[in-house]
Amino acid sequence: MTQLSQDLTDLIGSRICHDLISPLGAISNGLELLAMSQEMQGPEVTLIAESVENANARVRFFRIAFGAASPTQMTGASEIRAILADMCRNGRVQINWRAEGDQLRSEVKLMFLLIQCFETAMPWGGTIDIARTGEEWCVHGQADRMQVEPDLWQVLSRPAFAAGLDAARVHFALAPIAAASIGRQLRLESHAQEARIRC
């Protein structure tokens, strides 16, 4: 993928997420008004509200993972933790952000793409820890049952094997591109119930 193609892909991701955030916010506000009026209450409204919250969290996550990130743009620690907390609220995977302080958005983008890789390997749930020691990042995933598919995960260190990936696994192709753009190389260690990526 050329730099121009990558930049356009990132901008498309940013645009889609930007345009979705406003209507999702409007739906959420409308549900709050309905709940306050007491005219519509019950499990149906609760289900809709939870679905909107989940969609809003995912869009905010995708905006960083698939969106544009300028070289000097920062993302606040509180924003990162809020996004991940909202994502985990009704999910099977628990995500712990252990990196201190604000971070370059380009690095957060890479971490969010790697989080998706670990989520793919944890269909039954698990825990993902993201930490930074000095200049090195480490993403560690652990679960009672992990599905680390060798042919899929080799794409992280050998992007040429990305041909044929479907949309549900596109993050495996994008993560090494995001890593290369900030001068990092992904190193994977995997075992039966855990996996670790350092960069």
Two structure tokens written together for 166: 């479907």
Output the pLDDT for position 49.
Answer: 74
DSSP type of residue 160? G
> What is this structure's pTM?
0.85
3-class state of residue 161 by DSSP: helix
Output the pLDDT for position 2.
Answer: 59
3-class state of residue 119 by DSSP: helix
Question: Which residues share a beta bridge with 194?
Answer: 142
Please count the other Cβ atoms lying within 10 Å of the Cβ belonging to residue 198.
15
- Averaged over successive runs of 10 residues, the pLDDT of the chain (199 residues) comes to 59 67 70 68 72 83 89 94 90 94 96 96 95 96 90 83 79 92 92 90
Output the pLDDT for position 41.
Answer: 67
**Residue 133 · residue 196 · CB < 8 Å:** no
Output the pLDDT for position 70.
Answer: 86
Length, in residues, of the chain: 199
Residue ranges of domains in the chain: 1-68, 77-199
Output the pLDDT for position 4.
Answer: 47
Superfamily the domain 77-199 falls into: Histidine kinase-like ATPase, C-terminal domain (3.30.565.10)
**Residue 189 · residue 196 · CB < 8 Å:** yes
